[in-house]
Structure 1
Amino acid sequence: MKIGFDNDKYLAMQSTHIRERIAQFDNKLYLEFGGKLFDDYHASRVLPGFQPDSKLQMLLQLKDQAEIVVVISAEDIVSNKLRGDYGITYDMDVLRLIDAFQGVGLFVGSVCVTMYTPAPEVEAFENRLHTLGIRTFRHYKIAGYPNDVARIVSDEGYGKNDYIETERPLVVITAPGPGSGKMAVCLSQLYHEHKRGVKAGYAKFETFPIWNLPLKHPVNLAYEAATADLNDVNMIDPFHLEAYGETAVNYNRDIEIFPVLHAMFEMISGQSPYQSPTDMGVNMAGNCIVDDEVCCEASRKEILRRYLKCLCEQKVGGTVKEERFKLELLLNQAGLTVGSRAVEQQAHARSEATGGLPAAAIELADGTIVTGKTGPLLGAASSALLNALKQLAGIGPEVELVSARAIEPIQTLKTTYLGSKNPRLHTDEILIALSSSVSENEYAAAALSQLPKLKGCDMHSTVILSSVDSDTLNKLGIYLTCDPAYEEEDRKYHKK
């Protein structure tokens, strides 16, 4: 795939910049870490070349200086709030994060429970952490937060919070998801450090929006598309423009809260180290784009993907999703139209050629597009997947990778014994059938070895695929979109 982002440069530049920021203060920096650390697939899609674990790899370059504090809200523990991408509760995700950090050699110092109120669920969670040898601290609700600065920056506000004992110069504050209270933890720590005579600093690490790209750059528009459900809006930072005469991009929530933060900094330490919300950031991603057009094109595709995903969710849920209108506005700003991509056009052409049956198409890295149709043995997605592997392996279309004789027993298992109404093989099933043919079929072995080359390829289906198919394609790294339509439009519910 074409590369638009220099990942090695990013790792070196980002870690160096954070070290410089640590040195600006009393060798103590609280770094609010936004976004996903281990699996930032949005960034890897819109900045081709950015690795999903780049932020983690950057932290590993600082691991001797860094320690992690994981933040979770007591309200999220009590409500069993779920992470949509993993399907686990926030408290379980804290344990997952601790395991993941420690597994790569990063030091997890403690967990902070914010918005603390006594509850059996919270106490059980804290006890579990204590059993595992993880220290816990409590931060409390503050009346008038965030506007009553005088109360917040006092012994009645931050002063009532536990002081989180830390050992290293760089304290990374992270959380299972938004709304956990990361920024409040950082500022509370600054208050306590100042009372102890330590002039600690605060900085924020968010990949998007990229502050030194234009406001309507496709990469920044793609960020708005990704957060359409939160109604985040990219804006020119007026404080940065006033202070330096330079245009910088930030987003509405940071800009709205900055006057309050500025006042808090002044009350904590006598003066604010920052003149704008952009000043607070340490993101160097914009300096590592090596091919702007590649990133622009990738971001335009991402906006389309987000829009089609929204339409499909709306179709499945049966209700209009509010973010749809925001996404339509972003489509217009980026000059995009649904159906303009070659992969969509080829999928629809194949469907029309087969009497309107579901079809799918995959665009390979060299621009070649292969299609798949619905047949008696395979669904359209499975057919397209096999055809793509054939194309990549240089295998002719007449070659049979998996025989009908091998597929039929699987169909019997599905329909006769497991009760499935759909006899056609899903993508995971055809891959298992393909792998079982390797020992007897050299072509199957050649095709199977091409699977890594599908990573980053675009795929389009003329109908909404089952969760089984979409999950398998996602694991292969294929960027899937679907028309918001069912194979059988007269059915009441969406069935696999």
Structure 2
Amino acid sequence: MKIGFDNDKYLHMQSEHIKERINHFGDKLYLEFGGKLYDDYHASRVLPGFMPDSKLRMLLQLKDQAEIVIAISAGAIASNKIRGDLGITYDEDVLRLMDVFRSFGLYVGSVAITQYTGEAAADEFRHHLDSLGVPSYILHKIDGYPSNIEHIVSDEGFGKNDYIKTSRPLVVVTAPGPGSGKMATCLSQLYHEHKRGVSAGYAKFETFPVWNLPLKHPVNIAYEAATADLNDVNMIDPFHLESYGKTTINYNRDVEIYPVLKAMFERIYGTCAYQSPTDMGVNMVGNCISDDEVCREAGKAEIIRRYYTEICNIKKGLGSKDALYKIELLMKQAEISPADRKVAVAAMEVENQTHQPAVAIELDDGSIIDGKTSDLLSAPAAALLNVLKELAGIDHEKLLISPEALQPISRLKKNYLGSNDASLHSDEVLVALSISSNTDANAKAAFDQLPNLKTLNVHSSVMLDEVDEQIFKKLGMYLTCEPKTKVK
């Protein structure tokens, strides 16, 4: 993988900038973390070299000063809202995040349940947290939020919320996903801290859009594609331009809410420390791009992947035609099309030749390895074996797993497990390969190449079964599929 981002520089620069912001306010800083604090795979795709846990590792440099508050809305708990990339509910993800943060040595202080209106499921979740020894606090849904400033910033608004007890100068407010009430949690705390005589500040950590990249930079366009379902729009920050005469990039929701936030700060403190929504941010990611061209190409590739994801979601009944239309417009802005995805073109060429589902994988040098459907192997399984042979320098004519080892698995599926498809999935073939690696040198050499599959692009000429799809994701490969279930 070509590297376009200096991760070490980022870890140092970002932590130092946050320290500066803490010192600016004095007693305490509430830092709203937009996006994912952990496993930020979008950032690692569009900024090659950015590690998915970079933001978490950056916080480790501040761990003696920081504590984490995880926000989750009562509505998300009651509706069993699912985090799409992981397939788990938001409340399950809160518990997962607590374990992850603690395993890194970070202090998780509490959980804030926001927008509460008496949901029984939220009460049950609080009882569960209590049984785990995790403090939780209730923040109520406030009538007129966020426009009725006079009511919100009063004892009848923020004043009715629980005061979240914190003990460290940096309070990081994060959440399982959007709409969790992170900003409201921070603002409520500022109100309560002020009443207690504590000088607390607020800042926002939002990786995208990157404020010091051009508006139409592919990395910023890729952010719009990633949030097409939310209809986020990148835009020049008019408040920053007016105040400083400098062009910076933000997005519509932050720009729209800024006058409200400014009014809230002025009502709480009598003044506002920030002249623009960009001022509120602390993100240094744009300063750590080491190769702009690499990141531009990565951004373009991500936009196309988002197109395939959305069109397949529509086929599954999960996507949005409006989101797809927006992504198509974004592709035009970036001057790209689905035909620019080499693996997609290659997979379709193989399907057209064989009239069977096909999978193509692109190596780092740009070469393409394909996998064809056979009576014994599915296309994903064949593609994985072929690419492992290529990476290990093994002749493609050599068998890594003997047919005698694979055929009993096929018979088991068809004769005893009731499967209509006797060809082997990628997980079954990888298990067989791992067993063969104990006795066969070639199988071991191929098996040892599994870590090198990470970040390789993959395309299937049909939508894959969930088992195969998850295998590619777990291997860290960038998978897309055609929006169909069989060859026409």
TM-score tier after normalising by the smaller chain length:
over 0.9
SS at structure 2 position matched to 1:258 = helix
Corresponding residue number in structure 2 for 1:494: none
Corresponding residue number in structure 2 for 1:290: 290
Corresponding residue number in structure 1 for 2:398: 399
- Asked if the contact 1:26/1:198 (under 8 Å) is kept, the reply is no
- Asked if the contact 2:229/2:320 (under 8 Å) is kept, the reply is no
Aligned counterparts, 1:304-453, within 5 A: 304-317=304-317, 321-354=321-354, 356-453=355-452
SS at structure 2 position matched to 1:125 = helix
Corresponding residue number in structure 1 for 2:268: 268
Cα-to-partner distance string for 1:469-493 (whole Å, 9 max, x where unaligned)? 111011111111111122255xxxx
Task: State the shift of 1:463 in Å.
Answer: 1.4
- Asked if the contact 2:152/2:158 (under 8 Å) is kept, the reply is yes
User: Within 1, Cα distance between the matches of 2:301 and 2:211?
Assistant: 21
> AA paired with 2:170?
L
User: Within 1, Cα distance between the matches of 2:116 and 2:316?
Assistant: 37
Corresponding residue number in structure 2 for 1:104: 104
User: Within 2, Cα distance between the matches of 1:272 and 1:467?
Assistant: 50
User: Within 2, Cα distance between the matches of 1:232 and 1:353?
Assistant: 41
Corresponding residue number in structure 1 for 2:277: 277
> AA paired with 2:274?
Y
Q: 1:24 to 1:446 in 2, by over 3 A?
A: same
> AA paired with 1:473?
F
- Give the stretch that moved more between structures: 361-370 or 129-138: 129-138
**TM-score, normalised relative to structure 1:** 0.96
Structure 1 spans left out of the alignment, 5+ residues: 490-496
Cα-to-partner distance string for 1:346-390 (whole Å, 9 max, x where unaligned)? 222222332x22222111112221111111111112111111111
Cα-to-partner distance string for 1:170-220 (whole Å, 9 max, x where unaligned)? 001111221111111111111111122222100011110000000010000
Structure 2 spans left out of the alignment, 5+ residues: none
Aligned counterparts, 1:18-417, within 5 A: 18-317=18-317, 321-354=321-354, 356-417=355-416
Q: 1:30 to 1:320 in 2, by over 3 A?
A: closer
User: Within 1, Cα distance between the matches of 2:401 and 2:125?
Assistant: 50
- Asked if the contact 1:454/1:477 (under 8 Å) is kept, the reply is yes
SS at structure 2 position matched to 1:229 = coil
CA RMSD of aligned residues (A): 1.4
* Equivalenced residues, count: 488
- Asked if the contact 2:75/2:119 (under 8 Å) is kept, the reply is no
- Give the stretch that moved more between structures: 55-64 or 460-469: 460-469
- Give the stretch that moved more between structures: 164-173 or 193-202: 193-202
User: Within 1, Cα distance between the matches of 2:298 and 2:319?
Assistant: 29
- Give the stretch that moved more between structures: 179-188 or 15-24: 179-188
- Asked if the contact 1:220/1:234 (under 8 Å) is kept, the reply is yes
Corresponding residue number in structure 2 for 1:482: 481
SS at structure 2 position matched to 1:208 = coil
User: Within 1, Cα distance between the matches of 2:86 and 2:2?
Assistant: 30
SS at structure 1 position matched to 2:340 = coil
> AA paired with 1:373?
K
Task: State the shift of 1:440 in Å.
Answer: 2.5
Aligned-pair identity (%):
64
Q: 1:320 to 1:143 in 2, by over 3 A?
A: closer
SS at structure 2 position matched to 1:50 = coil
SS at structure 2 position matched to 1:361 = strand
User: Within 2, Cα distance between the matches of 1:455 and 1:319?
Assistant: 27
- Give the stretch that moved more between structures: 112-121 or 190-199: 112-121
Q: 1:150 to 1:319 in 2, by over 3 A?
A: closer
- Give the stretch that moved more between structures: 78-87 or 358-367: 78-87
User: Within 2, Cα distance between the matches of 1:349 and 1:272?
Assistant: 60
Aligned counterparts, 1:462-477, within 5 A: 462-477=461-476
SS at structure 2 position matched to 1:67 = strand
Corresponding residue number in structure 1 for 2:8: 8
User: Within 2, Cα distance between the matches of 1:66 and 1:320?
Assistant: 39
Task: State the shift of 1:318 in Å.
Answer: 8.7
**TM-score, normalised relative to structure 2:** 0.97
User: Within 1, Cα distance between the matches of 2:79 and 2:399?
Assistant: 53
- Give the stretch that moved more between structures: 16-25 or 403-412: 403-412
User: Within 2, Cα distance between the matches of 1:126 and 1:338?
Assistant: 46
> AA paired with 1:80?
N
- Give the stretch that moved more between structures: 361-370 or 18-27: 361-370
> AA paired with 1:239?
F
- After TM superposition, where is structure 1 displaced by more than 3 Å over at least 4 residues in a row? none
SS at structure 1 position matched to 2:229 = helix
